[in-house]
């Protein structure tokens, strides 16, 4: 995977990301980079669930890990069975299934469970399959992004956790650029200059802000892993 120069990003703590996503409601965020993004996403989900909030997850890359959530509950002396009843998982294995899960079912399902938080894992993973034409997956992505803006307007916060792939044919890499443009906020989990995990807030190619000192690697990993 490729990362932009560190000088163009603002280092933040994982706790800041957790807090900013939960409140205020009504936002669409992207978290991408290292595969720890999925553990960090589940940490964010767990903190909201601990407050009694139900969450819907659409998983397109088979990264949902129920054991991490169970451990979170046990460590905090919560009933794991009751805790896990607050999260709902739907899986998609093709770009068509992902569109149906997000655009056709997710908005109504969130209403039915009284939730204003959703997460989508690996939205683009199925879009790289050449069984669907590039033009078709572009159209699907635009429709999905339109749905996300609609649920945002209704007060729902959506987090997309996505690995950035360098795929062939190269034209499909444009999908990730389109995804980033459609987000309110983009976070990247990458490596700092000491090759330690670090979480950055991206603010676009024209950002000129200088980064503050980042968290140490051990602190970040401890905070990231539930």
Q: What is the structure's pLDDT at 194?
A: 79
Tokens of 167: 């795929």
Please give the full DSSP string across 72-135, using - where no structure is assigned: HHHHTT--HHHHHTTEEEEE-SSHHHHHIIIIIIHHHHHHHHT--EEEEE-TTGGGG-TTS-HH
Strands, sheet with 117-121, edge to edge from the N-terminal-most edge strand: 9-11, 197-202, 185-191, 27-33, 157-162, 117-121, 55-59, 87-91
Class of 26-187 per CATH? Answer: alpha beta
The mean pLDDT of 68-92, rounded to a whole number, is 95
Beta strands 157-162; 27-33: pairing state: parallel
pLDDT digits (tens, 9 = 90+) for 157-199: 999 999 888 887 888 999 999 999 999 999 998 877 877 778 8
Mean pLDDT of the residues in the chain: 83
pLDDT for 199 equals 84
Q: Which of these, 46, 60, 207, lies nearest to 128 by C-alpha position? A: 60
pLDDT at residue 11 is higher than 70 = no
Q: What percent of the chain has pLDDT over 70?
A: 81
User: Which pLDDT tens digit goes with each residue over 101-158?
Assistant: 999 999 999 999 999 999 999 999 999 988 899 999 999 999 999 999 999 999 999 9
Task: Quote the pTM value.
Answer: 0.83
Report residue 17's pLDDT band, with 50, 70 and 90 as the boundaries.
Answer: confident
């Amino acid at each position: 995977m490729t990362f932009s120069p560190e000088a163009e990003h603002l280092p933040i703590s994982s706790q800041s990301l957790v807090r900013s996503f939960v409140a205020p409601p009504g936002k669409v965020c992207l978290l991408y980079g290292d595969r720890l993004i999925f553990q960090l996403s589940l940490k964010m989900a767990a903190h909201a669930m601990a407050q009694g909030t139900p969450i819907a997850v659409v998983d397109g890359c088979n990264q949902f890990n129920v054991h991490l959530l169970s451990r979170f509950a046990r460590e905090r002396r919560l009933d794991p069975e009751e805790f896990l009843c607050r999260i709902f998982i739907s899986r998609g294995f093709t770009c068509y299934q992902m569109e149906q899960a997000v655009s056709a079912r997710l908005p109504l399902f969130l209403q039915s469970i009284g939730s204003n938080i959703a997460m989508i894992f690996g939205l683009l993973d199925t879009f790289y399959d050449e069984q669907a034409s590039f033009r078709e997956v572009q159209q699907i992505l635009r429709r999905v992004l339109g749905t996300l803006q609609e649920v945002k307007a209704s007060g729902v916060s959506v987090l997309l956790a996505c690995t950035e792939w360098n795929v062939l044919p190269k034209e499909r890499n444009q999908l990730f650029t389109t995804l980033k443009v459609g987000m309110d906020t983009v976070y990247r989990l990458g490596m700092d200059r000491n090759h330690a995990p670090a979480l950055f807030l991206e603010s676009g190619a024209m950002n000129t802000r200088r980064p503050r000192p980042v968290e140490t690697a051990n602190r970040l990993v401890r905070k990231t892993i539930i």
